[in-house]
Structure 1
Amino acid sequence: MMKPYLSVFRLRISNGLQYRAAALAGVGTQFFFGFIFIMIFQAFYAHASEAPSMTLSQVITYTWLKQAFLALIVLWLRDNELFQLITSGNIAYELCRPSEIYGLWYAKLLAQRLSSALLRCFPILIVVGFLPEPYRLQLPPDFVSGLLFLATLLIGLLMIVALSMLIYISVFVTMSPAGSLLLFSIFGEFFAGLIIPVPLMPDWMQKIVYILPFHWTADFPFRVFTGNISKTEALTGILAQCLWLAALILFGKFTMDRALKRVVVQGG
């Protein structure tokens, strides 16, 4: 039963790895914004009235991880082909396929993100590992922390794809890809800690962030890497990630089924 989804996944990975020039341009852009964010945080730490709960070195490493794995963690990365299928009525062709639409689209989006990240993350990580202080990326405290980071990043990727699926499902109702994408992206990016690391937010705001699933997709894995989150907390967090992942997929499948039952294709 998994064969169609694996075939789509492999095909999309192979196709995505062809866009090397676009990836190279993206690497340059991500370096630029990485330095901008770091300089902003340097100014903040230089004038902070009290010591924040993350060191400047941890925040710099957090920033480079965000830039390196941007394709894995942002909600604004989109597949325009899927939006067009919904808005044009060509979703009818998808309904004729013997495979489940949710699983098929999930595999496509997962492959799209992985292929984009594979082309961009290694050049960025290699270069920032050799930058002079204070701009250098610091390695995890130990080998176990590195393994926990990889596990949390992978589960976070599966969560972000499940969240992305909700954007496409919402377009069945709104028929506005730009509106759905903008709404999800603004809230998702902020609450995932991609603008400000969660520990630097006010306490009342952190309580809101920890209720929502977005924090588990980016902020949590990056803080595991930096050592800001202990190994025990990381193991507990992995369990929370898995529960959120299961809930998001079940909710996505439920809403997809509801949307497909009400879909009208070109007046039919």
Structure 2
Amino acid sequence: MKKYISFFRIRFINGLQYRSAAYAGIMTQFAWGSMKILMFRAFYAENPQSFPMEFSQLTSYIWLQQALLALFMTWFYDNDIFMSITSGNVAYELTRPMDLYNIWFTKNLAVRFSRAALRCLPILLVAVFLPEPYGISPTVSLFAFFMFIISMLLAVFCLTALNMLVYISAFYTVSPIGVRIVFAALTEFLAGAIIPLPFFPEKILKIISLTPFASMQNLPLRIYGGNISGKDVLSGIMLQVFWIIVLIAVGRLWMTKALKKVVLQGG
């Protein structure tokens, strides 16, 4: 365990070096969040009672989504991992006295957390001082905030475990680009990144709520705003744990099978 913690720390510190990219990301995410809120405001102005989320809950959802984008971005993949597979350099990683699945998983977590550490606070500080109802609201209770933190961490693990399947699929394809594009678009839509899941039709929402996609950013952001409360919070967190276990188990089994058939050529 110590070696993976050390690897996480090294990758995390390395990720903190890209500050210019973080500054650009902060401006982009603040502008994007503002546009989304103003767009929804136009719809809410017509009949606010007909929407499944209060506008204050929606604005909190959007600002947290932008502040924690680095944690929840479904389109982020480590190109070095894909290159190591397609070029055959994965052979060098297999010689290390470390589990390959654990290395890649730890690496992805470190990069996500390092990027979020640089971007989240400035966005949240600005959102806190925006006038109502355009800013971020405080949590409904201390319990909700505590559950939000737990659910947020579990959501990152769930997303990373799901993305690991995309990395492993590269062992079976000539190019991983097609799988990446399709999978990222599908995950982005079903995880509530484009439209919050409560805005989906009820029948579709019931199905999506049982999938791992709903256990990503959808759950923690709705817990924070109070859109999910009571027993639904605990059941949602239990579902997150379930999907993390399943996805990691499937990923490890698939990687073991892939490595048994991998063929490396060249000198």
TM-score for both structures, normalised by structure 1: 0.96
Deviation at 1:207, TM superposition (A): 2.4
Task: Indicate if the aligned counterparts of 1:145 and 1:231 stay in contact, CA closer than 8 A.
Answer: no
Q: Give the aligned partner of residue 34 of structure 2.
A: 35
- Aligned to 1:7, what secondary structure does the other structure show? helix
For 1:175 and 1:95, the matched residues in 2 are separated by: 21
For 2:3 and 2:179, the matched residues in 1 are separated by: 28
Letter in 1 for 2:234: L
Task: Indicate if the aligned counterparts of 1:102 and 1:256 stay in contact, CA closer than 8 A.
Answer: yes
Deviation at 1:261, TM superposition (A): 1.0
Q: Give the aligned partner of residue 108 of structure 1.
A: 107
Indicate the RMSD between aligned Cα atoms, in angstroms. 1.4
Q: Give the aligned partner of residue 229 of structure 2.
A: 230
Change (3 A) 1:250 1:108: same
Deviation at 1:133, TM superposition (A): 2.2
Deviation at 1:116, TM superposition (A): 0.4
For 1:226 and 1:162, the matched residues in 2 are separated by: 26
- Aligned to 1:211, what secondary structure does the other structure show? coil
For 1:17 and 1:88, the matched residues in 2 are separated by: 28
Change (3 A) 1:113 1:49: closer
Deviation at 1:85, TM superposition (A): 0.1
Taking the TM superposition and a 5 Å limit, the aligned residue runs for 1:166-185 are: 166-185=165-184
Deviation at 1:108, TM superposition (A): 0.4
Change (3 A) 1:61 1:143: same
Q: Does 1:210 align with 2:209?
A: yes
For 1:149 and 1:115, the matched residues in 2 are separated by: 20
Taking the TM superposition and a 5 Å limit, the aligned residue runs for 1:154-165 are: 154-165=153-164
Q: Give the aligned partner of residue 248 of structure 1.
A: 247
Q: Give the aligned partner of residue 55 of structure 2.
A: 56
For 1:159 and 1:194, the matched residues in 2 are separated by: 15
Letter in 2 for 1:258: K
Task: Indicate if the aligned counterparts of 1:157 and 1:217 stay in contact, CA closer than 8 A.
Answer: yes
Q: Give the aligned partner of residue 77 of structure 1.
A: 76
For 2:96 and 2:240, the matched residues in 1 are separated by: 32
Q: Give the aligned partner of residue 144 of structure 1.
A: 143
Task: Indicate if the aligned counterparts of 1:62 and 1:222 stay in contact, CA closer than 8 A.
Answer: yes
Deviations 1:187-209 (A, max 9, x none): 11111011111111111221231
For 1:175 and 1:94, the matched residues in 2 are separated by: 20
Task: Indicate if the aligned counterparts of 1:146 and 1:225 stay in contact, CA closer than 8 A.
Answer: yes
After TM superposition, where is structure 1 displaced by more than 3 Å over at least 4 residues in a row?
47-50
Deviations 1:33-59 (A, max 9, x none): 101111121122223596112111111
For 2:183 and 2:190, the matched residues in 1 are separated by: 11
Deviations 1:64-121 (A, max 9, x none): 1110101111221121111110111111111111111000110100000000001001
For 1:157 and 1:81, the matched residues in 2 are separated by: 20
For 1:261 and 1:145, the matched residues in 2 are separated by: 45
Q: Give the aligned partner of residue 124 of structure 1.
A: 123
Unaligned runs of 5+ in 1: none
TM-score for both structures, normalised by structure 2: 0.96
